[in-house]
Each structure stands twice: as structure tokens, then as C-alpha cells.
Structure 1
């Protein structure tokens, strides 16, 4: 990575990028990333070495002005960008061969040609060409006249290039007419990290049907009344911080107690990153957001029963006033602890009641930052008559751990289980079983370990005449579950492996961290974790 002045005329020595910081070995100066918005003078821009070497100093400033993101895009946005780059290169190859090659062959060539370095160089080349078409200008439009927009495309995405009251050709599209029979009272503006995508002028009675998209954020502007002083046009949202972070003012929506909600998931990676409401037939984009892709991210899953709704939401704080877990309490007098366990020596009583949702559908707002998340609620702050909720704590001891290693704990009954669904993930290139989704004879579900719906395997029907055997592999980071079998007798062992027997009765406890796990059943423990 290079640090470059905005005019591109001065660059630093190369550094290895890290979100923590980096060291200038020549001057023995340590640089750290600003927490939140940078307020310093003489800002520098971080650029890949091959990106900066591919662009001329003359065009750097203009290219940066167009492509500089307002916020760090998610992993999903970067994947969409890579897919577009491959399709764009495939179209160039097809034109160059005068359509003699099938599109599938051109696409395959593009995939093979675009390694990481080539992708960056192609992206810079494309950006230089496109940015030459854009001229920066500031203009005004009158709301008393018709308003037209002109669009521009960048990396396959449509953005608004300009607004005007006078259309010059058919490229200018009408979006607002002051003489319309349904006068507009609000303006909805959608944008992503690069620019404005859409303007919607609507009246006060209409609510456009919009599907929430990753990295696309909406703002509301009131048009109905002219005030002598600026007035708030947004609904009041009560923010509850889960970590010490600067506000980003980008709020995503989490449905609460919606009839289509089947489960909730929470992701923790040094702080609570996201809360997600699952629905039947959904895609799994929630698992591919920034930082949740890291192997150190821990996922927690709470399946819902028929007619079950959340009635209380609590947070549990750790030692540094940062939430380590949320507790969701339901109308079935059931509570699910979603987060890491308090470490030895920590208090278990640092609880705060965040909200008491009604049984009818409502909305939880989620503000994501680089350091964690904040939750937002439309309801007033609830009265906290009880100092702490009822929580099921582990019966087994906290496993051995390294400094700053956090363990999560889950438990489930094994009686009346009819089938199990392993959750298998890749860790450092090897397959491991991170958890089990259990289904019972009455149709209910529970889970132990870490569950991600995009990593579930085929169900295994339970044979109650057999025992369940967990295959443990001993790695340099500690023991992990590498396999599972049903058998009357212990399966044969390979070098460096152990089998842990579990009968189909009692409770199974599953401890896990980002690098190792430990099971407990009827007083017996699986291979001991490592410090």
C-alpha cells in the first residue's frame, strides 16, 4: 500500500496494510487508523501499489474524485464489482474476435485472465476512461418546475449524473412534475458508496415498495412545508450503543416479530456486528458482509417455534463497556443467549434492558460501524424493574484459553431428537464441523455450536440403537470436530484423532472459539482445549 496526496504528486514508501496500523521503518513512526471520521489535515489516500503505478499523475486527482467511496463497501459489493469486471472483459474479448467465440468461452477466458493484480489494473484503466466523461459541477433546480435527471453508468451501475429543469434531449428523463394530480410531499434519495442512484418524489399517503439492498442507503427530505428554521423530518429512533463507536447514520432494518420470521442470527467479532432475521427462501447475503467473512467471526442462531415472538431484548456488557451478547426472551418463557460468555473473573450481572417489543410486527434498526453496531428502537426506553433476566449458564467449566480468546457456549437436550444437520465450514483450508442443528419429534429445533444456514449439510436420521461419535482432530490451535458418525462401537482411530461418545439422552454442551472447541456430556469432556 502507498500513501498518496490527493493531487497524486507525492507518495510514501510501500507499507503492508493492516486495520490496526503499520510502521514506517525508516523513521520509526507508527501510523494508526483513525477511529471514525478523520479530522486531521494533510490526509493521505491509501492505494494498492499496482493501482497507483497504473495511473498517470495528470488523471489521478480526477479519477480519485469520482471513485473515492463515501464509506467502505461490503464484501458483497466487492463481489458484485468483480463479477461485472469479468463480464465486461468477456464482452471486449467477444467483440475483438468478431463474435466467433461463444460467450461462455469468452467468460471462461476472462475468469482465467483476471487474477488479483490484473483485476486492479483493468479497474484503473476503466475508471480513467470513464472519469474523462464526467465533469464535476454544482447546479440547482427549482421545485416549481419540472425536474429531469440524466443517468450515467459506472461499473454496470446506474447513477444520477445531473438534474435540470429543461430537458435538452431524450436522455433527460422526467422524475418530478409540480402540476401532478398527486403532489409530492417527500423526496427519497438512495445512494451507495460512489454516488446517488435514485430519486423518488412521493406524496404523504404513498409508501413505495422497496427491497433493502446491501450498501444502498435511503434519505428522506420533506418537501411539503417551508419552515423558517430547519425541521427534523425523520422519525425518532432511540439508539442503544453496543460498542464505543462513532455514528455512521446508515441504518439497516431488522424485522421483529414478523409472521414470516423463522429465526434470528447474531454475528460477533470482537464486538456485535450484526443481527439478522431469517425468512423462508431467503438468500444468504447476511453471511458475506465485511468482517463477518473473517474466520474469527462467531455466529449464533436462534430458531423460533410456531407462534413464538420476542418480548424482551437485553444486552450483556463485558469488561470494557462493550456488549458481548444479546439475550432474546420470548412469549414461551424461553431465552436465547446470543454472544460470547463472560470470561473468568467477569461479572454476570451487567445487564441492560434495551426494548420490550410488542407481539405485532415492528422494526429494529441496525447502525453498523467499523467497530461494531448500534441498535435503534422506535419505542420509548422501557422501565427496568428487574435488575437482570433469567439466564441459563453453563454447568461445565470455562475451557482453557489464550489471552483475548473468547468462548461461546450452547446447550441442547438430546432426548427425542429425530435427525441432526451438521454445519460444516472451512478453516485454514480444512473442513470442520462447527455445530449441529437438532430437530425433535414434535417438529421443534435447537442447535449446539455455530450454525450458518449456508453451510448446513444433509440431515442424518438418528438411530437410537447407536451412539453419536464426534471425531476430534488435534491441531496446532487446539482440538476441533472433524467428523461425526453413528455407531454401536467406537470407530477406528487415525493418528492425531480422538473419538468422543455421546448417548441420545441428557444435555450436550458445546464450547467454541475462533480456533478450537470442547464438548461436555454427562460430566465427561472432549479433548482439552489449548492455551
Structure 2
């Protein structure tokens, strides 16, 4: 059935591939039940990015998981078929509010939750006394593994029996504050904040090295205290009051609240009261009652507590936005610390998606990269040599197809090296500095991607207070961009090409990077080591996909084999330091210890140039 704006067929959109009862993800081929309103429901086999039409009910369903849907008229909820079948309460608006995810949790948090439920269920099964015989814990864990979704769905519904008042209330900070807590899936959440003690409430203390209470004794001079709120996708995990003069020290020795994001509400913005929002099971929000510009910054969540929230800068305009988006979360990467060995940037070619720093001794694990769900994602790696540090971060902005947007960011170092993370080319592209960095450790913040809020790329950045952002555009003061020797490969006008290159003199080691998730496992990039200790990277590169190094002698060549997929897309099939026994399969590029190797890549192709020779 073709889409027609005038059609009377009800249109529903599923924007979260998650069961509303057990909260676990929907997978392709799962039997799914969708609530279509007024007691109407329909079943279908789940497939991502698909449209379904139910002839009997005359309902159209869109699966749209990128945060926006051109067809959406009504949002809806969906369930695993088995979870829906075994529900014992109706799914009420109160239940939906209590189980609503403010944002998608990390892959690590989803694994932790599943492991916790499985372990707790296995322990309960093992301790039950009515089984005819005892079984080892390992077998009970296997049994529990088949019941994780059922257990999660039942537990979520049982919590509604303890549901309290839903809505907003005002908390007076001039009086004592008491907190009660509730445990959900192994994590503690703040159930309530009030000015009077309850049966299960405990008095919140003023947390600092002095461990003084939040309220002063009669006759003492009262001091307003800053509030730090730790919250995750389900609600508030912790509330802490700190004297403003102790904020910096407390933040340096921050408490560990894994998976939580911190908001800082300055004491000046909460002179007497804050608004508390509850979903009936736990707190969902603590808001300042002021709307001054600095007070609005308190609505931004940070990956770690920050003593003074820095100004957030729009990457396109390089100015502070007039208002901060709802639910804005800012993560960070460490910059210029002595133990940093490199930086990774994820890009779709036109925009940055994430930025990581890598340090000595860290394990290269897939969890560093797995939270990105962009349909096009290139990971590029910039190794940092001994004595090298970042001096400038710049951005390039231009018209991409129909509108102006950020088309890449660049990192420059004190050794005159600049790496472009994004599509190649700088004609009709505005190149501007974002910030000049000191030769000392600092943190650079950028917005977390959030498909539910429509933030699918890095749009906003922030720097620690002692790093003012810059908008310098004078060409003689900007870093020099790298220039390609070869011409950009042409396939079609809307294909985004990225470029990288390295010199080939005195190469000692080559570390290939293989895309492990592809059936043909292509080599997508290489990290090169040189005799003087220098390192360079070409192509795409993920540290968790690195294979055994190829040792190169002083006069050895590097041999690169190119092949094509069934769709005729070029890829690198092999890299070796030994002369190929046979060149019957694929095409080979012989790279000597001289000249420059260039690696162009898009979402479909890899094209290499060495001198006048082209591979693929």
C-alpha cells in the first residue's frame, strides 16, 4: 500500500526497538505485539526499518529507529509476544511513565542488567527447597538464561504495587532533606526527597571532607550549597549537596556511579527550593525554579561531575546556543595527558560521531566502539608520538547536498601534523579554529548521540574553563591542511570520500586492521611504525581489529592485494612483506621504501595510490 497523506489508515511509528514490559531489545524475527490504541493490538514478525500493513485491522506500522519518522502520526509501544501473553496487569500510563527510558542505555549497561537478572534468578532457583534434587549453580544459570525476559517483565509489573504519588512537588532546601531509595535491576535510585522523615527515609548529609550536615544549627550563618544530581535513563541515582568552595575538590575525587550522568545546580540558582518530579516509583527530575541563562546550564548532564559547567559551543556557528536542548548529555575525552598514545574519531564522512583518547596500558576492547549505531561509520585513528601533543582543534563547514553543516574536524599537533576527520576537499569550505589547546592535561566535551532526541552527530562542544574557544579565521594563523597527490576517485556525485596518506621511508612494522564483522573480512587500514619511533595511520582503523604486525626490513617492499566484491566494490584483501608466490588472484600493488602511499575510502570502496599506480 503506497503512503498517502489523505489516507484514513491509522499510521503508527515504533521509534524504540525495545519491549515495553521487559525493556530488552527487539531482534529481527521476534514475534512482536503492538498496542494500537483503544484495546486494539496486532502481531507481526519484527524487522528493522520496515513498514507493515495489517489488512484486517487496517493499520500501518513504521519501524523507524533513527529518532525521526516522516510518516509518524502516532507513537506506539510494542512488546515481545511472550511478555505480552504473560502480563498480569494492564499496561497503564503510570507503568509507561515509570519504565520510560529518557535515552538509550549503553550496550555495557544492557549487558550488566541482563547478567544481574540472570544471576539473581539462578540464585533464587538454587535456594528453593521444593526441587527433587540439587543442581550446581552453573546449570541453574543456564536455566535462568532462558527466563531473563520473563523475569524482567514480571518484576517491572510488581513494582507498580509500591507506586506512590506521580507528579511534581516542591522541596524546601532551607529545611532538612530526607531521602528514600528503591532498588531496580541491581541499582539504587532515589525514590523520594522530602522535608519530613518517613518510615524508610534517611537524612541526606552534606558530603565533603568535613562531612558536615546539610542544615546548620540554629544561629549559624546559612550557606547555600551546590547540588549535584546523578541520573541515568531510568531516573535519579544520587543527590549530593556540596559547599561551593569544596566543589572542585569533591569533583576531583568523584564518587563512582557507573552509567550515571551528572548535573550541577549552582547554589545561587536554588536559593530556597527546587521542583521534584516523580514517576511514582523513583525520582525523574530535580529542576531549579529559575530560568536565568546560567541556571539553564544546570539542565546539561555531564559524564563526570564538573565544578563549574563550561560554556557549550555550537560547532557550526562557534557561538553559545541561545538555549540548551532538552536532555543534553556531554561526554569527554582526555587531551594532552602524558600517557595518551592516540585519538580515535568516528565520522560518517560529513559529521563527527564520537571522539576517544587511548592511553598506555588500556585494553583495546569492542565496548569502546559498540554504542554507535550510525548506518555509516568510519573510525579513524591518529597516533601520538613521544613529545607530541594537540595544539589546535578546528572544524570545516560547507554545503553538503542541500544545506550547510559541519563536514569534518581536524586535530593539529606541535610537530606540524594535521589530520582531517571527515570528507576530503576544502573548496568552498569554511575552515575555522574551535580552540587552541595548552600543553597540559585537559578535557574536551562533546554531546552524546541520542536518536530519541534527534542528535545523531556531534553538534556541540565545551572546554574546561581555562581553554577559551576561538573563532579565528585568518588563513595565516590556521593550521595547514594536508593536500592529496592523487585525484579523488569518482563513482557517483553523492558518494563521500575520505583521504589519508603516509610516507614509506624507513618503515619497520605494519599493523593491518581487518573488519571482523564483514563476511570477506577486508583490510580497512594500516598503522605504520618507523625506525625513528614515529607512527602514522592510513585508512580506517580500530584498535580492537588489529592483527599481527608485519615486520619490514630496510630494503623490503610491502605487497598489497586488491579484490572486488560481488557488487564490484574494491577492497584490500591482503597485505604482506613477502613476495607473492602467485599473482593470479586479485591485483597487486608493490610499495617500496620510498614515496607516499595514499588510501582513499568511502562506505563501499577502498582505493590506494602509490606513485602513478592505482589499486582498485
TM-based fold match above 0.5: yes
Q: Residue 467 and residue 276 in structure 1: after superposition, are their counterparts in 2 closer, same or farther (change >3 A)? A: same
Give ranges in structure 2 of 5+ residues lacking alignment: 1-31, 207-212, 273-288, 298-308
SS in 2 for 1:426: coil
**Counterpart position of 2:571:** 480
* Corresponding residue for residue 487 of structure 2: 397
Distance 1:519 1:459, change over 3 A: same
Q: In structure 2, do the counterparts of structure 1 residues 521 and 92 end up closer, same or farther at CA, with 3 Å as the change threshold?
A: farther
Secondary structure (helix, strand or coil) at the match of 1:91 reads helix
> Residues 203 and 412 from structure 1, CA distance in 2 versus in 1: closer, same or farther, beyond 3 angstroms?
same
- The alpha carbon displacement at 1:193 in A equals 0.8
**CA displacement 1:187-208 (0-9 Å, x = unmatched):** 1001111110111111112232
- Where 1:327 maps in the other structure, the secondary structure is strand
Seen in structure 2, the aligned counterparts of structure 1 residues 184 and 200 have a Cα distance that, compared at 3 Å, is farther
Note the C-alpha offset of 1:492. Answer: 2.8
| Alignment equivalent of 2:371, drawn from 259, 281, 289 | 289
Residue 429 (structure 2) pairs with residue 335 (structure 1): no
Structure 1 residues 93 and 174: alpha-carbon distance in aligned structure 2, compared to 1, 3 A threshold: same
Q: TM-score, normalised by structure 1?
A: 0.83
Q: Does 1:125 align with 2:154?
A: yes
Report the secondary structure of 2:98's partner residue.
helix
What is the CA deviation profile of residues 362-397 of structure 1, one whole-angstrom value per residue up to 9, with x for unaligned ones?
332211343211232342443322286421122222
Cα offset, 1:148, TM superposition: 2.7
Distance 1:216 1:466 in 2: 51
Decide whether aligned partners of structure 1 residues 42 and 522 sit closer, same or farther in structure 2, where only a CA change above 3 A counts. closer
- Aligned residue for 1:365, secondary structure, equals strand
Match runs of 1:11-90 below 5 Å: 11=41, 14=44, 18=48, 22=51, 24=53, 43-50=74-81, 51-55=83-87, 58-90=90-122
Matching of residue 186 in structure 1 with residue 226 in structure 2: yes
Alignment partner of 1:386 is 2:418: no
Q: Could you tell me which residue of structure 2 aligns to residue 226 of structure 1?
A: 271
Aligned to 1:431, what secondary structure does the other structure show?
A: coil
Q: Which moved more, 1:331-340 or 1:83-92?
A: 83-92
- TM-superposed CA distance for 1:96, in Å, is 4.6
1:468 is displaced (CA, Å) by: 2.0
The residue number in structure 1 matching 2:202 is 172
1:356·1:382 contact (CA, 8 Å) conserved in 2?
no
Secondary structure (helix, strand or coil) at the match of 2:154 reads helix
SS, match of residue 108 in structure 2? helix
- Structure 1 CA distance for aligned equivalents of residues 492 and 86 of structure 2: 44
TM-score normalised by structure 2 residue count: 0.73
5 Å-filtered alignment, 1:399-478, equals 399-402=489-492, 404-477=494-567, 478=569
Q: 1:218 Cα deviation (Å)?
A: 1.1
Q: Distance in 2 between matches of 1:70 and 1:505?
A: 54
Confirm whether residue 376 of structure 1 aligns to residue 461 of structure 2.
Answer: yes
- The 3-state SS of whatever aligns with 2:233 is coil
Matched residue, 2:137: 103
Residues 240 and 374 in structure 1, CA contact (< 8 A), matched pair in contact too? yes
Tell me what 1:523 maps to.
Answer: 612
- Distance in 2 (alpha carbons) for counterparts of 1:368 and 1:65: 23
1:143-154 equivalences under 5 Å are 143-154=173-184
Give, in whole Å, the separation in 2 of the partners of 1:89 and 1:10: 33
* Cα separation, 2, equivalents of 1:474 and 1:257: 41
Q: Per-residue displacement from partner, 1:318-377 (whole Å, max 9, x unpaired)?
A: 4232222111122222111112224xxx83533232222233333322113432112323
SS at 2:97 equivalent: helix
1:308 to 379, 382, 388: 388
Query: Matched residue of 2:114: which SS?
Result: helix
In the alignment, what sits opposite 2:19?
A: none
1:266 corresponds to 2:345: yes
Q: CA deviation at 1:173?
A: 5.6
SS in 2 for 1:85: helix
Residues 324/75 of structure 1: CA separation in 2 closer, same or farther (3 Å cut):
farther
Q: Are residues 509 and 41 of structure 1, via their aligned partners in 2, closer, same or farther at CA, if it must alter by over 3 Å?
A: closer
Aligned-residue offset at 1:452: 1.0
In 1, distance between residues paired with 2:119 and 2:113?
10
| Count of residue pairs brought into register by the alignment | 512
- Which runs of 5 or more structure 1 residues have no equivalent in the other structure? none
